[in-house]
Structure 1
Amino acid sequence: MTNSLRPQGHNRAPLPPAQSSADGVPSPRSPQNQKAQANSRPASSGAKQRDAFFDNAKYLAIVLVAIGHAWEPIKGDSRILEAVYTVVYTFHMPAFIIISGFFSRSFDASPSRLKRLITGVAVPYIVFETAYPLFKRWIDEDPSQEISLLDPWYLTWFLCALFIWRMTTPIWKMVRWPLPLALGLAMAATVTPEIGDDLDLQRVLQFLPYFVLGLCMKPEHFHMVRTRTVRLLSVPVGAVALAFGWWAVPRMNTAWFYHRDAAQELGAPWWSGPVMVLAMFGCSLLLTACFFAWVPRRHMWFTALGAGTLYGYLLHGFFVKAGDYQGWFEAAWLHRPLGEIFVTVCAAVGVTLLCTKPVQRVFRFAMEPRMEWAFKRDAAELAREREKRDGAAAREKVNA
């Protein structure tokens, strides 16, 4: 264990304030003092420093998401793989959503932030909600596959949910008890099958408490779980979770971990829905804390990839679905231990490549479109530009 992972007591550097990115997912930046930040780099540089911990956490979480999707077609009757799959699904999306909530704290529905929300979340949702059904029509030769912006397909549910969560952020910042209220809505959703599939509202509501928790968190909460004691305790906690997952495989419906159905739709009594919301919220927080405890806080070889996690998230689905439609996962050797390891490595390497800068440059038109033509110019921005032009003209006049 490196010294950089050890807690630094009262001398450790604070985490950065919350900011939102252009791509609609958390974009951690540091240092806290913007004036010091401006003095520490050339005036011509528009790049902002990013906090390594959150970039590392985002990258590792998205790798687990891709691995989980790759495991789904091959886990079959493997009780061990099913147990690991269950444990991973308990915390990988909650961890990512908590970070999303933490970096949404500054969202105030101002024109600039609404513009970033539209270009970084709504537009990618429309693009990929159209692209995935077209892809299925082509590769699976399924002309009946419909395109509907009201029914999120496969991975696009997260963009739909993130848009709704961010738009409601001012409400959660205003109410007195945001987390209990969010939990209440999640519990109510699990007993309301009438919600249906429109906008995947079941997932929006059942994952809502994690986003609201992120909104409520402060930097010191992340410091609390990144201590040597928590890291050591997380080892037996993880072992117990894997053992419990192995025990629960034949006894529990895995669909609970997807948070997309009401209790009645899973063939369970209505009262089990609220109970499972609370139980899974507690288990998810415990394993998420263990995950955060082991996320490196220093710059690693993969730290820069944290800025491209939305690319990896949305693009890896095409490869997973192509393999599913074309029968790539049906080979018998993939369902043996060495085959499962091979699939795991391929998923990790594949999503890593999809987070790289070359891929970002190619697909930026869909993920981070500028769309200046679609928005009115902000009056304050126009005034600043006029002031800058007038100042430049005055200097030229003096020099002349």
Structure 2
Amino acid sequence: MFHAASSLAPSPRPSQNQNDRQDRSGDEPGRPADRPAGRPSAPPAAKRDAFFDNAKYLAIVLVAMGHAWEPLKGDSRVLTAAYVLLYTFHMPAFIVISGYFSRGFDASPGKLKRLVTGVVVPYVVFETAYPLLKTYVGGAPQDISLLDPYYLTWFLCALFIWRLTTPLWKLVRHPVPLALGIAMLASATPGIGGDLDLPRVLQFLPFFVLGLNLRPEHFALVRRRAARIAAVPVFAFALVFAWWAVPRMNSGWLYHRNSAQELGVPWWVGPVMQLALFGCSLLLTACFLSWVPGRATWFTTLGAGTLYGYLTHGLLLKTADYRGWFDHPALHRPLGEIAVTVAAAAAVTALCTSPVRRVLRCVVEPRMEWAFKRDAAELARGREREKEKDAQRQDPGTKDARTRSADPAV
């Protein structure tokens, strides 16, 4: 559901080619400006779209705020209502954007390599780090299991599975209804088991598949002024409804990780709730995106580091939880809740910055050239370049002769 770009520019209607170059991590490595003489230069790398970087940053701030509210929400109905509202759309929004930037995944060697280095490796690292933190800081021994995602690492596990199935969703005729049907069935099937957090993977699947099928013009619709104005009463009504629903609804539905039977209701309630939540989440996601600025702002560049903020902010929150910092009475008052919210937003912002990315890139986005075979076409190009260099060293005039013969004026 992330290197800093060298340049950012607002684009009210992003082009298809431009957005295909932005992957989930939000980075397109720069191309060298200098090319060997006599070889055509590649087209310049497309500029990043500020809208999507802004959306990713704001979404990750909301994720951190929701995690910070979790240990405090029991004492305040208003905070619990805000928590319910937030959990209705913040991860769906993040997943829709992840799906949108996964459209170019075709299971080619380069894409599979990026999937391993950008998803599998950080999953293994942080799936190990969180249990160790609980063991040595929390004082409660926790087993390390790569099949049982711990805390927020479920998203990487889900993203790995979703991206591997991307070619299938491009093939079927009605991908979104099919994915929604799978999610509805998963919500009524308690026997799926917890390995790889499959219930959550399947129940969040429709949002990813929807992102795969979105086009730039769909995002342009929600970025109109009329949509921004309409989002105000929608969010206001949603907050009031969440306040009403707090004592009446099991918040476990919002996590999408349990079946209806596990939540203590008949099986048929699961598909109904799944369908209702899908509609509510999409509406609120559209409202959220309508408020995302399309121009470059002070936080636009931070959108390239959202994976870093996502994976590391949980370490800070878990440390605070294990140390009992959330038990302080002052934090359970309105001013304390506001202070925790601001602190969480500031912390995740700092964790998305370039210095943090430089330090943690070795485990979040490692290159790992040593682990992969070189592509045959790349090897052939390398051999051809070496032959040209040898020929130039032996006969410096070869290059000039080849250039003159290729000139139509000669």
Fold shared, TM-score > 0.5 on shorter chain: yes
> How much does 1:215 deviate?
0.5
Residues 271-317 of structure 1, C-alpha deviations (whole Å, 9 max, x = no match):
11000111000000000000110101111100011110000000000
Q: TM-score, normalised by structure 1?
A: 0.91
Alignment correspondent of 2:26: 27
2-side partners of 1:253 and 1:285: how far apart? 20
What amino acid does structure 2 have at the position aligned with 1:386?
Answer: R
Aligned match for 1:205, one of 197, 202, 207: 202
Alignment correspondent of 1:263: 260
Alignment correspondent of 1:18: 20
Alignment correspondent of 2:89: 91
User: Which residues of structure 2 form unaligned runs of 5+?
Assistant: 1-8, 36-41, 398-410
- 1:311 aligned to 2:308? yes
Aligned match for 1:57, one of 36, 46, 55: 55
- Structure 1 residues 56, 78: closer, same or farther in 2, change over 3 A? same
What amino acid does structure 2 have at the position aligned with 1:110?
Answer: S
What amino acid does structure 2 have at the position aligned with 1:14?
Answer: S
- 1:360 aligned to 2:361? no
Alignment correspondent of 1:192: 189
- 1:72 aligned to 2:70? yes
Residues 201-233 of structure 1, C-alpha deviations (whole Å, 9 max, x = no match):
011000000000001111100001000000000
Residues 370-400 of structure 1, C-alpha deviations (whole Å, 9 max, x = no match):
1111111110111111112222232333337
Alignment correspondent of 1:33: none
**Partner secondary structure for residue 145 of structure 2:** coil
C-alpha contact (below 8 Å) 2:21/2:46 kept by paired residues: no
Alignment correspondent of 2:340: 343
**Partner secondary structure for residue 71 of structure 2:** coil
- 1:169 aligned to 2:166? yes
Alignment correspondent of 2:221: 224
Alignment correspondent of 2:3: none
- 1:399 aligned to 2:400? no
Residues 178-199 of structure 1, C-alpha deviations (whole Å, 9 max, x = no match):
0111001100101111111100
C-alpha contact (below 8 Å) 1:140/1:325 kept by paired residues: yes
- 1:281 aligned to 2:282? no
2-side partners of 1:261 and 1:20: how far apart? 33
**Partner secondary structure for residue 76 of structure 1:** helix
Q: TM-score, normalised by structure 2?
A: 0.89
C-alpha contact (below 8 Å) 1:28/1:103 kept by paired residues: no
Alignment correspondent of 2:39: none
What amino acid does structure 1 have at the position aligned with 2:80?
Answer: E
1-side partners of 2:369 and 2:76: how far apart? 51
Alignment correspondent of 2:138: 140
Alignment correspondent of 1:291: 288
The percent of aligned pairs where both chains have the same amino acid is 65
C-alpha contact (below 8 Å) 1:20/1:107 kept by paired residues: no
Alignment correspondent of 1:378: 375
1:93-112 mapped onto 2 (5 Å cutoff):
93-112=91-110
What amino acid does structure 1 have at the position aligned with 2:15?
Answer: P
Alignment correspondent of 1:123: 121
- Structure 1 residues 394, 104: closer, same or farther in 2, change over 3 A? same
- Structure 1 residues 393, 53: closer, same or farther in 2, change over 3 A? same
**Partner secondary structure for residue 105 of structure 1:** coil
C-alpha contact (below 8 Å) 2:123/2:156 kept by paired residues: yes
Aligned match for 1:251, one of 230, 248, 251: 248
What amino acid does structure 2 have at the position aligned with 1:67?
Answer: M
| Aligned pairs, number | 381
1-side partners of 2:280 and 2:33: how far apart? 46
Alignment correspondent of 1:237: 234
Alignment correspondent of 1:327: 324
2-side partners of 1:204 and 1:13: how far apart? 29
**Partner secondary structure for residue 237 of structure 2:** helix
C-alpha contact (below 8 Å) 1:28/1:51 kept by paired residues: no
What amino acid does structure 2 have at the position aligned with 1:272?
Answer: V
- Give the CA RMSD over aligned residues: 2.1
2-side partners of 1:351 and 1:179: how far apart? 32
**Partner secondary structure for residue 365 of structure 1:** helix
1-side partners of 2:138 and 2:152: how far apart? 18
2-side partners of 1:337 and 1:51: how far apart? 37
> How much does 1:26 deviate?
4.6
> How much does 1:49 deviate?
2.6
2-side partners of 1:386 and 1:28: how far apart? 29
